[in-house]
C-alpha cells in the first residue's frame, strides 16, 4: 500500500476526487476554496466525497480558476475537454527565447560585447514597443534572443567592478522583459529560471531600482503559483520594501515608482488571501506614493503611475470577490488614461471580471471585446478572460452565446 498522493490525472478518478487532490496540492483548505467560488465549505466537501454530481460548466470553470488549473482535462478527466486556461498557447517565438536563455554561455567568446549603455538603449526601445504594440509578445519575442545573448556577453567581458555592476543591472532588466514574454505560456520552468536569474543579477548590480523590479516580478511569480506560495510572495515584497524605504528621501522617480508598485503588490496578495483591510491599506499607501510622482510619469516595467491606481483599485475589489465594489471602482477608473496598450487591455479584463461578479455578463463580454481591441495578445493569454468567454459560450441567451463564441474564436478557444 502506497502513501503517495493519488495522481488526479489517472482514470477513473471522479471529478470530486480530482478537485480534492488538486486543492490539496495547492495547499488550499475547503473553506478557502468555498470562499473563492461563492459556495459553502459543506458543498465543497459533498462534491469531493461524491455526494453531489459533477457541477455544470460555469461552476467547473470557477473551480478551475480558483485552483489555477491550466488544463480543464486535469480537473474533469475528459481528454476531449483539453482547454488551457492559465497557460496561453505557446508563442511561435517561445523556442528561440528559450534557446537564448538556456544556452547561458560561460566560456570565451568571439567579438566584443556591446556596452551596458547600448543594451539599456535597446531595452528602452523594447519597452516602448511593448507598450505601443497590440501584438506585444510578437514584438518583444523578436528582440529578446539577441538582447539576452548580448547582455550575457556584456557581463562576461567587463573590466572593472563598476562596469560589471552596470552590466548586471542591464542583464537583470533583460530577464525582466523576458518574464513578460514567457508569462502564461506553457513553460513554467523557464519562467522561474528567468525570474531567479533576474534576481541574482539585480543583487550583483547593487542598484536599488533594479533590485526592486526583480523582486516585484519574483513576488508575482510566487503569488500566481497559488496560496501555498503567498507567504513567499510576501517575504520577497516586504524584505525589498525594508531595503528601499530608507532610501526614500533621495530616491529617483524610478525608485519611488518601484516602491509604490511593491506596496500595491502587498495589497494584491492580501486580496488574494481574502484580507480586505490589509489589501486596501496597502492600496492607500501605493496611491500616496503615486501622488509623489510627476503627473505624466509612467514606469516602463510595472506601469506604476497616477493613471494606473484606478485600475489597481478594480483589481483589489475583484480579487476580494466584491462585485458591487468592483463595478463602482470600474466606473471611476478611466482606461483611456493608461498609455500602455497591454496594461489598458489588462484593466479591461479586470473590469470584465467585476461585471461578471456583479451579474452583468453582457457588459463583461463587451468589455472583453474592448480588451481585445486594445491588445489581442493580452486577452489571448489571460486565464480570467478565457474563463469568462468560455463560460458565456454556454449562456442561455442566444445573442450572448453568439458574441461569446465569436470572441472565443478570435482568441483561439474555439475553431473559427
Q: Is the pLDDT of residue 7 over 80?
A: no
Return the number of other C-beta atoms located less than 10 Å from residue 31's C-beta. 12
Give residue 414's pLDDT. 64
The domains found in the chain, sorted by start residue, are: 15-81 (1.10.260.40), 91-206 (no CATH), 307-416 (1.25.40)
Model confidence at 68, in pLDDT bands (50, 70, 90)?
confident
The model carries a pTM of 0.82
Contact indicator for 49, 14 with CB cutoff of 8 Å: no
Buried b (16+ CB within 10 A) or exposed e, 251-284: beebbbbbbbbbbbbbbbbbbbbbebeebbebbe
- Sign of the Cα torsion 157, 162, 167, 168 reads positive
- Sign of the Cα torsion 244, 249, 255, 259 reads positive
d(CA 119, CA 289): 29
Q: Match 550583483 to its residue by C-alpha cell.
A: 204
pLDDT tens digits for 166-214?
A: 999 999 999 999 999 998 887 889 999 999 999 999 999 999 999 999 9
C-alpha cell at 212: 526592486
d(CA 10, CA 242): 46
Model confidence at 8, in pLDDT bands (50, 70, 90)?
very low
- Sign of the Cα torsion 259, 185, 61, 221 reads negative
pLDDT tens digits for 150-163?
A: 999 999 999 899 99
Q: Which of 288, 295, 286 is nearest to 258 (CA)?
A: 286
Q: Is the pLDDT of residue 30 over 60?
A: yes
Contact indicator for 133, 139 with CB cutoff of 8 Å: yes
Region for 89 from its dihedrals, namely left if φ exceeds 0, alpha if ψ lies in -120 to 50, beta otherwise: beta
Contact indicator for 86, 26 with CB cutoff of 8 Å: no
Contact indicator for 17, 6 with CB cutoff of 8 Å: yes
Buried b (16+ CB within 10 A) or exposed e, 163-174: ebbbbbbbbbbb
In sequence order, what are the beta bridge partners of 84?
71
Q: What is the dihedral of CA 115, 116, 118, 120, to 10 degrees?
A: 170
Q: At what angle do helices 383-392 and 361-374 cross, to 10 degrees?
A: 130
Model confidence at 336, in pLDDT bands (50, 70, 90)?
confident
Give residue 344's pLDDT. 94
Q: Which residues contact 294 (CB under 8 A, 6 or more apart)?
A: 253
Contact indicator for 68, 24 with CB cutoff of 8 Å: no
Amino acid at each position: 500500500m502506497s502513501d503517495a498522493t493519488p495522481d488526479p490525472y489517472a482514470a477513473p478518478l471522479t471529478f470530486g476526487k480530482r478537485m480534492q487532490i488538486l486543492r490539496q496540492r495547492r495547499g488550499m483548505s475547503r473553506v478557502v476554496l468555498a470562499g473563492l467560488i461563492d459556495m459553502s465549505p459543506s458543498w465543497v466537501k459533498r462534491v469531493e466525497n461524491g455526494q453531489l454530481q459533477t457541477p455544470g460548466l460555469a461552476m467547473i470553470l470557477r473551480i478551475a480558476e480558483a485552483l489555477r488549473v491550466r488544463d480543464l482535462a486535469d480537473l474533469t478527466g475528459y481528454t476531449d475537454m483539453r482547454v488551457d486556461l492559465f497557460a496561453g498557447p505557446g508563442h511561435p517565438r517561445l523556442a528561440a527565447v528559450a534557446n537564448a536563455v538556456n544556452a547561458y554561455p560561460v566560456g570565451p567568446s568571439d567579438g566584443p560585447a556591446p556596452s551596458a549603455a547600448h543594451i539599456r538603449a535597446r531595452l528602452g526601445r523594447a519597452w516602448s514597443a511593448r507598450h505601443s504594440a497590440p501584438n506585444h509578445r510578437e514584438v518583444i519575442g523578436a528582440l529578446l534572443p539577441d538582447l539576452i545573448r548580448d547582455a550575457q556577453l556584456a557581463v562576461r567581458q567587463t573590466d572593472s567592478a563598476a562596469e560589471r555592476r552596470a552590466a548586471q543591472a542591464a542583464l537583470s532588466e533583460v530577464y525582466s522583459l523576458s518574464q513578460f514574454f514567457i508569462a502564461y505560456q506553457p513553460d513554467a520552468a523557464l519562467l522561474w529560471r528567468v525570474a531567479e536569474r533576474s534576481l541574482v543579477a539585480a543583487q550583483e548590480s547593487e542598484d536599488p531600482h533594479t533590485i526592486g523590479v526583480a523582486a516585484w516580478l519574483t513576488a508575482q511569480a510566487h503569488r500566481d503559483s497559488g496560496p501555498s506560495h503567498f507567504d513567499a510572495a510576501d517575504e520577497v515584497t516586504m524584505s525589498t520594501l525594508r531595503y528601499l524605504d530608507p532610501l526614500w528621501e533621495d530616491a529617483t522617480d524610478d525608485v519611488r515608482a518601484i516602491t509604490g508598485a511593491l506596496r500595491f503588490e502587498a495589497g494584491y496578495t492580501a486580496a488574494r488571501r481574502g484580507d480586505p483591510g490589509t489589501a486596501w491599506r496597502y492600496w492607500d499607501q501605493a496611491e500616496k506614493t503615486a501622488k509623489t510622482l510627476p503627473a505624466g510619469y509612467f514606469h516602463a516595467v510595472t506601469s506604476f503611475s497616477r493613471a494606473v491606481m484606478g485600475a489597481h483599485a478594480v483589481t483589489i475589489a475583484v480579487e476580494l470577490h466584491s462585485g458591487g465594489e468592483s463595478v463602482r471602482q470600474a466606473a471611476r477608473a478611466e482606461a483611456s488614461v493608461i498609455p500602455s496598450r497591454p496594461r489598458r487591455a489588462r484593466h479591461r479584463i479586470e473590469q470584465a471580471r467585476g461585471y461578471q461578479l456583479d451579474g452583468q455578463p453582457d457588459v463583461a463580454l463587451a468589455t472583453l471585446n474592448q480588451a481585445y481591441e486594445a491588445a489581442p495578445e493580452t486577452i489571448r493569454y489571460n486565464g480570467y478572460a478565457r474563463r469568462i468567454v468560455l463560460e458565456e459560450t454556454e449562456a442561455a441567451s442566444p445573442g450572448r452565446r453568439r458574441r461569446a463564441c465569436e470572441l472565443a474564436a478570435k482568441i483561439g478557444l474555439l475553431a473559427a
